[in-house]
A and B are shown apart, each in its own frame.
Chain A
Amino acid sequence: MKTKWFSWLSHPESLLSCLTLVMLGWIYKVDPTFLQWEVQKELSTHIWETALMALPMTLIILTGGIDLSIGSTMSLCAITAGMLHQHGVPLPMGCLAAALVGLAGGWFNGWFITRLKVHPLIITLATMAAFRGIAEGVSQARPLSGFPKSFTWLGQASWLGIPLAGWLFLGCLALCAWIMHGHRLGRYIHAIGYNEVATRYSGIRVNRILLGLYCLSGLSASIAAILFMARRNTAKADIGAGVELGVITAVVMGGVSIFGGRGSLFGVCLGLVLIHETREFVSWHWSRDELNLLALGSLLILSVVFQQLLGHKRSS
């Protein structure tokens, strides 16, 4: 009997579900107005970009890697689209160019990781600086705006109460869930995270998969940039600063092991909910934005410590 209890508890997702319910319950007790649909809708307009980028980040962390450059890629893509628009290029072409820039950025990271065997941490730390630096240099830190109504409509439109960005996320989530559970790529990703050597020796093209994942991460950053521009009608070089922290925290809180292999998208969704609600509630109830940062940072550290204590082993 006892073993049954513990085995259920040892899954981070179960613990996370409990934690989420407990937290929501506590929030309801403290301030029920927070949980109203209207309020939630208002506060959630910006979460979809983070959520979208969390999907490839989950896959990357599952393989044992990391991508710190998504915020800077966002910035570079936004500046690309914005500058092109300023020079008269029609916006759809600009967005396409932004997507290509995102793909190129991800490919750049992936190339260093797979060919030069540089640790993902170091190269994405470098591109985190380089990409934002290029954006700052090109745009001279000036904001760009004045996007056409047809574009900004994308940012305001919603269906059944959920904005377009939200539907995009849900669609991508469904796709990722299918990939992870129904497609062989999912099996490969878990295997690479658990034991890259054995996976290579089973004939799987590990380098190709990793390169693809980092490209995907870059692409998601570019889409997030476009969504941001549509929502806020502005493109500036400081877009996305610090967004990587929120994404990584959500993924790690969602039970994905930082050493790779173990984790699920369901957990990441819970992690996103937890982070988002915590952040918003802290701002809402105490009206102090700075507590946000404190809460977020502490959450990341606590969840990693927790993972460590639960005994997630490092694969040699």
Chain B
Amino acid sequence: MLGLLKQRAAGLFCFTFLALGLVSLINPAFLAWGNLRDIAVQAAPVCIISCGLMLVLVLGEIDISVGSMMGVLAASMGAMVSATRWGLSPWIAVILTMILGTLMGALNGWLIAYLRVPSIMVTLGMLTALRGVTEVIMGGTWITDLPPGIRYLGTGSWMGLPICLWVCAGVIVLSTWLIHRTPLGRRIFAIGSQPRAAHLAGLPIQRVKFLVFAWTGFLTALATLVSVPQLSVVDSGIGVGMELLVVTCVVVGGTSVNGGTGHLSGVVFAVLLMTMISTLLIFMKLGENATYWSRAIQGLFILGAILLDHLVRSKKSS
């Protein structure tokens, strides 16, 4: 199976490469450094959250509240730094936002792990409730006066690469270490693979679940901090649909929704692929109407991943 998964990551890599190649043939402007960098910048927050959501799916749970969490975090960050609202220093805002994100994830984790409420229900409720909280914080108006201190996070660069790419790279390295080099990583996969055996082996199932959800909240905060300040405006629609994009990337990237399997490289390539789709469509000169099909293509990808998953499963059992 590991072979097949590695195949999945490799397959995605090839697919991405081919798509890139094809598009460059039709429109060489695609390969311009500026364009590629824009795609990477767009993909970065999705990638950051996907690293967390992958572990949630490996556990056998799901989290569809990340988009609304982003909304709340964006709104609160904006409200914190905006001179017309709370006017706090960017540093404090950053720290508070991270804490808030982790707390929201922890709330999910507590309800799911300790109160044993099914994750779909908790996160479905959170998705709506937090969207409402976002609206409340925004108070009906957009935040337009983000100070340069915070905007640096979104627009600044270090050694030629935007900050978000560095953060993304850091998260990927951190996640790789977590999955492959820590006991916690092994236990996450064990619990997702066979919960009954995990119980008999005395693994701290509830604590692990709680931590994974809190971690996802933390990563969401990180993603918000490096993506929202890219624009000077914070509106209440931030993060809408993010959860679907992230789940699509994670599932397409080879993570089984039944738990137990998942490969980080597959997820990263899937993120690149999915965020490229809208841009691809534009560059393929299919006309401006082509971008309207991006959600359909997303859906198609996730359906394809489900079918592929099924084929792999039935091949295994026969």
- Taking beta carbons and an 8 Å cutoff, which residues of A are in contact with B? 66, 112, 116-119, 121-123, 125-134, 136-137, 139-141, 242, 245, 248-249, 252, 258-259, 288-301, 304-305, 308-309
Kindly provide the distance from the CB of B58 to the nearest chain A CB, expressed in whole angstroms: 15
Given that A252-B121, A290-B135 are contacting pairs, would A301 and B129 also be in contact in the complex, using a CB cutoff of 8 Å?
yes
**Could you list some 26 contacts between A and B, CB below 8 A?**
A119-B258, A121-B257, A123-B306, A126-B299, A126-B306, A127-B303, A128-B299, A129-B296, A129-B298, A129-B302, A130-B302, A131-B299, A136-B292, A136-B295, A137-B293, A137-B296, A140-B289, A245-B127, A245-B128, A289-B135, A290-B135, A294-B128, A294-B133, A296-B128, A297-B126, A300-B128
Task: Please indicate the chain B residues that have their CB under 8 angstroms from the CB of A129 in the complex.
Answer: 244, 248, 295-296, 298-299, 302
Q: Chain A: which residue is nearest B130 at the CB level?
A: A297
B147 located at the interface, meaning its Cβ lies under 8 Å from any Cβ of chain A in the complex: no
Kindly provide the distance from the CB of B183 to the nearest chain A CB, expressed in whole angstroms: 28
Q: How long is the Cα–Cα vector from A309 to B248 in the complex, in angstroms?
A: 33
Q: How long is the Cα–Cα vector from A215 to B124 in the complex, in angstroms?
A: 23
Kindly provide the distance from the CB of A47 to the nearest chain B CB, expressed in whole angstroms: 17
Kindly provide the distance from the CB of A131 to the nearest chain B CB, expressed in whole angstroms: 7
Q: Which of B25-33, B110-118, B206-214 contacts A (4 or more CB under 8 A)?
A: B110-118
Q: Are B121 and A301 interface neighbours, CB within 8 A?
A: yes
The 4 closest A-B pairs by CB, nearest first: A297-B129, A130-B299, A133-B296, A290-B135
Given that A290-B132, A291-B136 are contacting pairs, would A248 and B124 also be in contact in the complex, using a CB cutoff of 8 Å?
yes
Q: Are B122 and A301 interface neighbours, CB within 8 A?
A: yes
Given that A122-B257, A297-B125 are contacting pairs, would A308 and B115 also be in contact in the complex, using a CB cutoff of 8 Å?
yes
Q: How long is the Cα–Cα vector from A38 to B135 in the complex, in angstroms?
A: 30
Q: How long is the Cα–Cα vector from A128 to B297 in the complex, in angstroms?
A: 12
Q: Are B117 and A293 interface neighbours, CB within 8 A?
A: no
Q: How long is the Cα–Cα vector from A245 to B111 in the complex, in angstroms?
A: 19
Partner of B124, one of A134, A141, A245: A245
Q: Are B306 and A305 interface neighbours, CB within 8 A?
A: no
Partner of A293, one of B131, B289, B299: B131
Q: Are B244 and A119 interface neighbours, CB within 8 A?
A: no
Q: Are B306 and A297 interface neighbours, CB within 8 A?
A: no
B310 located at the interface, meaning its Cβ lies under 8 Å from any Cβ of chain A in the complex: yes
Kindly provide the distance from the CB of A12 to the nearest chain B CB, expressed in whole angstroms: 15
Task: Please indicate the chain A residues that have their CB under 8 angstroms from the CB of B135 in the complex.
Answer: 289-290, 293
Partner of B295, one of A117, A123, A133: A133
11 additional A-B residue pairs with CB within 8 Å, beyond A66-B120, A127-B299, A129-B299: A122-B306, A129-B296, A132-B295, A136-B293, A141-B292, A258-B118, A291-B132, A294-B132, A297-B125, A297-B132, A301-B129
B62 located at the interface, meaning its Cβ lies under 8 Å from any Cβ of chain A in the complex: yes
B276 located at the interface, meaning its Cβ lies under 8 Å from any Cβ of chain A in the complex: no
B16 located at the interface, meaning its Cβ lies under 8 Å from any Cβ of chain A in the complex: no
Q: Chain B: which residue is nearest A127 at the CB level?
A: B299
Q: Are A296 and B132 interface neighbours, CB within 8 A?
A: yes
Given that A297-B126, A301-B125, A304-B125 are contacting pairs, would A290 and B136 also be in contact in the complex, using a CB cutoff of 8 Å?
yes
Q: Are B122 and A293 interface neighbours, CB within 8 A?
A: no
Q: Are B129 and A293 interface neighbours, CB within 8 A?
A: yes
B247 located at the interface, meaning its Cβ lies under 8 Å from any Cβ of chain A in the complex: yes
Partner of A116, one of B128, B248, B310: B310
Task: Please indicate the chain A residues that have their CB under 8 angstroms from the CB of B258 in the complex.
Answer: 119
Task: Please indicate the chain B residues that have their CB under 8 angstroms from the CB of A132 in the complex.
Answer: 295, 299
B294 located at the interface, meaning its Cβ lies under 8 Å from any Cβ of chain A in the complex: yes
Task: Please indicate the chain B residues that have their CB under 8 angstroms from the CB of A66 in the complex.
Answer: 120
Task: Please indicate the chain B residues that have their CB under 8 angstroms from the CB of A252 in the complex.
Answer: 121
Q: Chain B: which residue is nearest A241 at the CB level?
A: B240
* Chain B 282-318 interface mask (CB, 8 Å, partner A; 1/0): 0000000100111111111011001100100000000
Q: Chain B: which residue is nearest A300 at the CB level?
A: B125
Q: Are A294 and B129 interface neighbours, CB within 8 A?
A: yes
Q: Are B118 and A133 interface neighbours, CB within 8 A?
A: no
Q: How long is the Cα–Cα vector from A304 to B300 in the complex, in angstroms?
A: 32
Task: Please indicate the chain B residues that have their CB under 8 angstroms from the CB of A301 in the complex.
Answer: 111, 117, 121-122, 125-126, 129
Q: Chain B: which residue is nearest A293 at the CB level?
A: B132
Q: How long is the Cα–Cα vector from A125 to B298 in the complex, in angstroms?
A: 11
Enumerate B213-248 residues with CB–CB distance to A below 8 Å.
Answer: 244, 247-248
Q: How long is the Cα–Cα vector from A235 to B128 in the complex, in angstroms?
A: 24
Kindly provide the distance from the CB of A129 to the nearest chain B CB, expressed in whole angstroms: 4
Q: Are A293 and B294 interface neighbours, CB within 8 A?
A: no
Kindly provide the distance from the CB of A256 to the nearest chain B CB, expressed in whole angstroms: 12
Q: Are A292 and B297 interface neighbours, CB within 8 A?
A: no
Q: Are B306 and A136 interface neighbours, CB within 8 A?
A: no
Given that A291-B132, A293-B135, A300-B121 are contacting pairs, would A133 and B299 also be in contact in the complex, using a CB cutoff of 8 Å?
yes
Q: Chain B: which residue is nearest A117 at the CB level?
A: B310
Task: Please indicate the chain A residues that have their CB under 8 angstroms from the CB of B289 in the complex.
Answer: 137, 140
Q: Are B132 and A295 interface neighbours, CB within 8 A?
A: yes
Q: Chain B: which residue is nearest A296 at the CB level?
A: B128
Partner of B62, one of A121, A128, A259, A291: A121
Q: How long is the Cα–Cα vector from A290 to B138 in the complex, in angstroms?
A: 10
Task: Please indicate the chain A residues that have their CB under 8 angstroms from the CB of B298 in the complex.
Answer: 129-130, 133
Given that A289-B135, A293-B128 are contacting pairs, would A305 and B303 also be in contact in the complex, using a CB cutoff of 8 Å?
no
Q: How long is the Cα–Cα vector from A152 to B40 in the complex, in angstroms?
A: 48
Q: Which of B125, B134, B307 lies at the interface centre, i.e. has the most chain A CB atoms within 10 A of its CB?
A: B125
